[in-house]
């Protein structure tokens, strides 16, 4: 079955809209990743960083080439110190962490284009921060 040209054109236009390129794979629910977080015992290495890598670490966004005033999400150390390191992640305090505000859509939603993180992913990042935001 052939896809009508206008459907292809609409898809191309939609993919070109937004500040950061939405190059990440999507999960079954259409969220930016297929990373599934446990309720507790969230691992930075196995859950958080893979999600950041798939949903946030693009050129011009939060990758290694991000401007100095933006948070880099390429490693735990960069997350905890870049962007001024003020309140992006406050270990043990997800309710006061800017990262949580952004992924929940309070203020400028992250990611800014494409679909937001799903509720499991948001809850997982909240749990990781509540558990001390460890480099585990």
What average pLDDT does the segment 19-43 reach? 66
- CA–CA separation, 136 vs 120, rounded Å? 19
In this predicted structure, what is the pLDDT of residue 21?
Answer: 42
In this predicted structure, what is the pLDDT of residue 29?
Answer: 53
Name residues whose C-beta falls within 8 Å of residue 17's C-beta, 6 or more positions apart in sequence: 113
Q: Max Cα separation, the chain?
A: 53
DSSP 46: I
Kindly report the number of other CB atoms within 10 A of residue 123's CB atom: 16
- CA–CA separation, 118 vs 49, rounded Å? 16
Tokens of 106: 């309070």
**Could you identify the residue written with the tokens 């585990």?**
136
The domain spans of the chain are 19-130
Average pLDDT along the chain: 79
In this predicted structure, what is the pLDDT of residue 33?
Answer: 62
What average pLDDT does the segment 22-39 reach? 63
């Amino acid at each position: 079955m052939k896809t009508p040209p206008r459907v292809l054109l609409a898809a191309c236009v939609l993919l070109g809209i937004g500040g950061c390129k939405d190059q990440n794979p999507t999960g079954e629910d259409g969220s930016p990743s297929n990373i599934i977080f446990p309720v507790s015992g969230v691992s930075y290495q196995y859950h958080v960083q893979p999600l950041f890598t798939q949903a946030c670490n693009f050129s011009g966004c939060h990758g290694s080439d991000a401007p100095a005033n933006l948070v880099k999400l390429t490693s735990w150390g960069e997350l905890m110190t870049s962007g001024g390191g003020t309140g992006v992640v406050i270990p043990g305090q997800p309710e006061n962490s800017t990262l949580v505000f952004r992924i929940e859509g309070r203020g400028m939603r992250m990611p800014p284009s494409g679909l937001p993180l799903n509720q499991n992913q948001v809850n997982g990042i909240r749990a990781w921060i509540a558990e001390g935001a460890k480099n585990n």
